[in-house]
Amino acid sequence: MREEALVYWVGTSEEEIHFIDSILSAYDGVACVRREFKLEDGQALYKVYVTAGMEREFLDVMGRLRTRADIRSVTRGEDDAALPSE
């Protein structure tokens, strides 16, 4: 049975999402950054699909990236129109 990917919303800027995407691309199979975003309180949240079973690795990478990139939030959410609540 195929597991569905997890959805995370990353609060950051358009410039930073390109940097984050390039770093996550180096970790083959961990996550797929989308250019889809939603606004919450005037701030962009970008959708990231995280491979099932790779959540811990994704969160570890994001934790390390927070020392180098402007990441306001990393929130697990849903793949629909509803924004995650912080």
What is the pLDDT at residue 3? 66
| CA separation for the pair 2, 73 (Å, rounded) | 29
Taking only Cα atoms into account, the Rg of the chain, rounded to an integer number of angstroms, comes to 12
What is the pLDDT at residue 66? 95
Q: What is the pLDDT of residues 28-75, one digit of tens each?
A: 889 999 888 999 999 999 999 999 899 999 999 999 999 999 999 999
Q: What is the pLDDT of residues 1-38, one digit of tens each?
A: 456 899 999 999 999 999 999 999 998 889 999 888 99
6-77 sits in which CATH class?
Answer: alpha beta
| CA separation for the pair 51, 45 (Å, rounded) | 19
What is the pLDDT at residue 28? 85
Domain boundaries, the chain: 6-77
- Residue 60 CA: distances (Å) to CA of 28, 63, 66, 78: 15, 5, 10, 21
| CA separation for the pair 68, 20 (Å, rounded) | 10
Show the tokens assigned to 54.
């790779």
